[in-house]
Amino acid sequence: MKDIIIHGRYRVNRRIGEGGFGLVYAGTDTELDEHVAIKLMHVKDDPGTLETEARTYKALSGGTGIPRVLWYGQEGDYYCLVHDLLGPSLEDLLNYCDRRFSLKTVLLLADQAISRIKYIHDKKRLHGDSKPDNFLMGTGRQGNVLYTIDFGLARDLPNADHHGALGGRSFAGTTRYASLNCHNGREYSWSDDLESLGYVLLYLSKGSLPWQGLNAPTNKQKDDLIKERKAAISVASLCDGLPGEFAIYMEYTRSLELNERPDYAYLRQLFRRLFAARGFTYDNVFDWTERRFRELHNQPSEKAVQTLLTTSRTATSGHSRRSVRGIQSRKRRHISKLSR
């Protein structure tokens, strides 16, 4: 793919990932000299998923945490989707942080993730494949914003009478995080996106899920084993070791009727109240921010201070300048102590 130019403008640089539907490359917008992501799929391999993804991005454009699509079309034997280049995925960051996030980080992510799913649902879409690889952090001034990507399995809700449910279909998605309804081939609804997100939050909190590591002769048999294990384990066991709010979240999402609209505000407040009760601060300092901070402390310098402050600068509305200045001041004092 070296020295390939897409649409006479976007240069393909290096491969950075492989989604369920296509290869992803880092690229350059040669006109603006900006970094972009380029997703490619051979025309023989694409059953319409990349077009679905492009159409969904267009419908969601302008929303917080939704990357901008810069171009979609066919170039030679490939369908191409060009959008903003984002930062690392939650899976990447989990590996960086020794396979487990703190409660504070999980709650910060949960607040944003529920908001993203609500926005998608408000636009009469269902994501269909919530997983850590499909949640990415932004870059630069948007470095603390959680983005949702990979809409190849997105479902459209054609009209208001559809009530947030689509007819049953063969299984599609990621088995590890799929809802029980999805495993059973039932109609897909709003609640399924939220149940899948619940499994993601548990995974980020614990580093694994109880149905990982199961072995079977075929993928179909393995999927069946995961389904059986997921259905058999109680919510209490699933959420063991975590605050009760996680069990409440899972019970709530599993209890929703097919056409019942979720109460997103209730779910966000559930975790926000826990956040406040633990004395956490909405400072957008995630585990990876702290880890990078500690790494920079090995050689304290003004550059290290500026890098830290840039990383932790709030990228979302609703956070006071006073709070941010206080955080920065505390970090400067801490660095000063370490450098004595």
Instruction: Report the binding-site residues for ATP.
Output: 39
Among the options 46, 84, 111, 129, which is catalytic? 129
- Strand pairing report for 22-29 and 10-19: antiparallel
129: annotated active-site residue: yes
Please state, in angstroms and rounded to a whole number, the distance separating the CA atoms of residues 72 and 241: 45
Residue 82, judged by CB atoms within 10 A of its CB (0-12, 13-18, 19+), counts as buried
Our measurement of the distance from residue 221's CA atom to the centroid of its chain's CA atoms, rounded to an integer in Å, reads 28
Please state, in angstroms and rounded to a whole number, the distance separating the CA atoms of residues 189 and 258: 6
For the beta carbon of residue 321, count every other beta carbon within 10 angstroms: 8
The secondary element (H helix, E strand) that includes residue 192 is helix 190-206
Six-digit token pair at 318?
A: 């609703």
Six-digit token pair at 262?
A: 């979720």
- Binding site: which residues? 39
Contact 148, 184 (CB under 8 A): no
Q: Point out which residues pair with 5 in neighbouring strands.
A: 11
For the beta carbon of residue 108, count every other beta carbon within 10 angstroms: 23
Specify the 3-state DSSP secondary structure of 246. helix
Single-letter residue type at 120:
I
Of 17, 138, 147, 23, which is closest to residue 86 (Cα–Cα)?
138
Of 197, 337, 207, which is closest to residue 254 (Cα–Cα)?
197
Please state, in angstroms and rounded to a whole number, the distance separating the CA atoms of residues 244 and 284: 24
List active site positions. 129
